Amino acid sequence: MKVGIIRCQQTEDMCPGATDFSMAKQGNGAFAETGAADIVGFVSCGGCPGKKALTRAKMMTDRGAEVIFLASCIGKGTPIGFPCPHFAMMKEAIMKALGQDSKLIDWTH
Ligand code: SF4
């Protein structure tokens, strides 16, 4: 299945996303729902407060992503235990932008 992943821009300096790529390849963690995944895009939210996540999610669905994932740096705050304060709003706004039939999974590992 083709997926797109959105990550927290604030954690780019401390995490290259290696675990997300590994989990997606193996179909582990949150990717157990999709099976081994083909990543069509791995982008950041665009920086606080994350408004660019909407258009970036759309950009990836336009390129074939069937499911959008919010990496665990956003909702769980990995790797430093600092979740995004805009998580709930970002999630809701992306769902609204993509439409009811779209699938959003709000963690990766
Ligand atoms: S909006 Fe949230 S996910 Fe995006 S950079 Fe800021 S803290 Fe990270």
pLDDT at residue number 32: 98
Question: Which residue's CA is the nearest one to ligand 1's atom 2?
Answer: 84
Q: Determine the angle formed by the axes of helices 52-62 and 87-98, rounding to 10 degrees.
A: 40
pLDDT at residue number 101: 84
Give pLDDT < 70 ranges for the chain: none
Q: Is residue 74 in contact with ligand 1, taking CB distance under 6 Å?
A: yes
pLDDT at residue number 45: 98
Domain positions in the chain are 17-34+52-71+88-99
Ligand 1 pocket test, candidate residues 10, 54, 87, 94, most atoms within 8 A of CB = 10
> Model confidence over 83-93: pLDDT tens digits?
999 999 999 99
Are the C-beta atoms of residues 87 and 74 closer than 8 Å to each other?
Answer: yes
pLDDT at residue number 17: 96
Q: Is residue 41 in contact with ligand 1, taking CB distance under 6 Å?
A: no
